[in-house]
Amino acid sequence: MAAATATETALLVNISPEKWPPRYRTYFGSLEIRSPQPGECFAITPVRGCETLIDLGDRRTHPVSITAREIAEDIARELNSDSGEGSFHGVFVAAGDAPTPAELEDARQRLEAFHRRLVDAADLEWARTKNPMFITDLERRAARLLGLEKPWLYNAKPLDDCPVCAEKIKPGVAVCKSCGAILDHEKAAQYGFVNRGDRAAIHTKKPQENREAGK
C-alpha cells in the first residue's frame, strides 16, 4: 500500500506529440503522461514521491520512501527506451521547478537526431527492397515530424461511400465498380464510359442500367 507524499514533486517534461497509454506502478498506481496540445512547445506532468511497504514475509514489512525524481526518471527511461537501444522520445525530468531553455533545446536536438536515424534506416530498407511494407510506422512518423518527402512515405486516404449502393470506394472515382453508378460524369465521359450528351439520361437510369451504359 502506497501513500503519496505531497511535499515533493518532480516535473516530467514531454516535447513530443506522441501519446502513450498510462504508466502503471504498483507503488502509486497509474499515471497519464501529458502530450503538448496544438500551440504548445511542451507539456508537463507533475510526479509526486510516495512511501510504500516491502513485504519481507512472515507478516513483516519494511517501509520505503521513493522520491519524486526517482519515479519520474524511471518513467522517462521507460518511455524513451520504448523503441530499443539509443531511442529517445522527447521525455526528460526537469532539474528545477520548470524546464530551462537549455534543457528544452537539448531534448529537441536529441529527438531530431533519433528521428534522422530512423529515416536513414528507412532509406536503406527502401533502397534494398522498394517495399513500403518494410517501413515501420515509427519511421514514417519520424519523416513527417521532420517535414521530409520520401518515396516510401505515403498517407492512406480514407475511403468514401458510394451514394447509390453505400459500398466503399476510392476518393475521386468516376464509376462505382459495385453498382455502376456514374459519380463523376465529366471524368466518366473523358475515359469513354459514357457519351458527353448522355448526362441527363444517366441520372434517370437505375444502377443496373448505368452499368450497362458504361459498357
Whole-number pLDDT of residue 8: 83
Q: What is the full DSSP assignment across 142-206?
A: HHHHHT---TT---PPPPEE-TTT--EE-TT-SB-TTT--BS-HHHHHHTTSS-GGGHHHHHHS-
Question: Quick one: which of 55, 58, 75, 57 has its CA closest to 67?
Answer: 75
Which stretches of the chain score pLDDT less than 70? 1-7, 155-157, 195-215
pLDDT in tens, 34-85: 999 999 999 999 999 988 888 888 888 888 889 999 999 999 999 999 888 8
By the 8 A CB rule, do 33 and 45 touch? yes
Phi, psi angles (nearest 5°) of residue 57? 85, 165
Q: Give CA–CA dist 12/95, Å, rounded.
A: 10
Whole-number pLDDT of residue 197: 54
CA angle, residues 188, 208, 177, in degrees to nearest 5? 50
Cell numbers for 121: 534506416
Residue 182, C-beta contacts closer than 8 angstroms, at least 6 positions apart: 174, 175, 188, 193, 194, 202, 203, 210, 213, 214
Residues recorded for the chain: 215
**Class of residue 49 by CB neighbours under 10 A (exposed 0-12, middle 13-18, buried 19+):** buried
Cell numbers for 164: 447509390
For residue 41, the one-letter residue type is C
Residue 48, C-beta contacts closer than 8 angstroms, at least 6 positions apart: 4, 5, 6, 8, 9, 28, 68, 71
Residue 197, C-beta contacts closer than 8 angstroms, at least 6 positions apart: none
Q: Give CA–CA dist 71/67, Å, rounded.
A: 6
- The domain ranges of the chain are 3-96, 103-146, 160-213
- Note the pTM of the prediction, 2 decimals: 0.67
